[in-house]
Every structure is written in C-alpha cells, then in structure tokens.
Amino acid sequence: MRRWIARHGRRSSKKLVDVFKTKTRDEWCTIMEGTDVCFAPILTMAEAPAHPHNAAREIFVTRHGVIQPAPAPRFSRTPSAIRDAATADIGELMSEWKGGR
C-alpha cells in the first residue's frame, strides 16, 4: 500500500480534488447521504447544531444563550452536565488566607 501511495498518491489526490470541485458540498451530501459511504460534511458552527446527525445525538446544548458542544464523553450510567462556575468572595478568601486558615 505504501508503495502504491508513493507511486500514485499525488496523481490520485489531484484527481480527487478535481472531482470534488465539480459539485457543491450540498450536492455531494444529496448524493452520499443514505448510502454506505463514510463521509461527513464540513459544517460551520452555525450549521452544526441543526444537522440531523448532531441534533439526534444532542451534540450541542444552549447554555446562558450560547450554543456550545455538550460535555463529553457521555456514559450511560454516569450522567454529565454543565455546571455553573463556583463563586467566591475575594475579600473573604483574602481574610482566610491572611489569617492562615
């Protein structure tokens, strides 16, 4: 395989680039979705949450009005969640620190 890639790789890569340039991303998706071809479109962050694959798997969540990737990994018996950051009073912390506690 390595020899084949070394011998034909550049030519094959150029040919693939030329072929993929003949259609838009959406046209390629129409052709390949629902087949056994292993592919995925490159999506913008605005498009990704609405893609059927991502929506079905709840890959994105909205937190404080911001759409972002959900926590990963997700385990069936150990639920994960986005938690709010801990809050602290700086004056209190400084008093404790100075007091040696």
Q: Please, are residues 61 and 67 in contact by the beta-carbon 8 Å criterion? A: yes
Burial class (CB in 10 A: 0-12, 13-18, 19+), 61: middle
Q: Show the domains of the chain with their CATH numbers.
A: 1-36 (no CATH), 42-72 (3.30.60)
User: What confidence tens digit (pLDDT) does each residue in 47-99 have?
Assistant: 999 999 899 999 999 988 999 999 888 888 887 778 887 888 888 888 888 87
Q: Is the pLDDT of residue 1 over 70?
A: no
Tokens of 31: 């052709």
